[in-house]
Amino acid sequence: MKSMLLTVLFLSVSLISCREPAPVLLPSTSEQLALSIQPNPAGGDPLPRVRISAGSRSVSMVVTQRWMCGARVTAGVNRAPGELAIVVRQILPDSSVVCAPMIVVLDYTGTISGLSAGSYRVRVFEAQSNTRSRLLGSATVSVSTPAT
């Protein structure tokens, strides 16, 4: 009886730990974020990676991510006092796109400008074809004012 309970407990824990993480509720975005996309030949693991930095009245983010041939990438921003939420969408190609099956690593870079000086919590989310979402990374940064 005791071994049966231990077996059931082990299987339950195993099943729970193997599940996909629950999707994250994405914030709505009120503006588009222009992205520049560059190949990243170094790649590396783990992917995706997010780097967030602050500058003079701006915050920049770089997402290093695997990309599938034919996919498009867009991003939007939600601004709130002391908070920035960036939603990156990788829109997978439809079946009519013909290209060699390849996956490469790219850097998506975007800068949010026109910010007031202060501390901001920045969160970067990923949404793929409106079916999955997850938090890729977050950081708290300090935005400065331009030197006069």
Query: What are the residue ranges spanned by the domains of the chain?
Result: 27-143
pLDDT higher at 113 or 67: 113
Q: Is the per-residue pLDDT at 131 higher than 90? A: no
**Confidence band of 132 (pLDDT split at 50, 70, 90):** confident
**Pick from 49-58, 73-82, 100-109: least confident:** 100-109
Tokens (6 digits) for 129: 């074809």
Q: What is the pLDDT of residue 68?
A: 75
Give the Cα separation of 128 and 21 in Å (integer).
15
The whole-number pLDDT of residue 6 equals 46
Residue of 92, 120, 129, 106 lying closest to 47 (CA atoms)? 106
What is the secondary structure of 99-128 as a DSSP string? ----EEEEEEEEEEESPPSEEEEEEEEEEE
Q: In the structure, what pLDDT confidence band is assigned to residue 98 with cuts at 50, 70 and 90?
A: low
**pLDDT of amino acid 2:** 54
Q: How much is the average pLDDT of 37-65?
A: 90
**Average of pLDDT values for 47-64?**
95
pLDDT at 101: 64
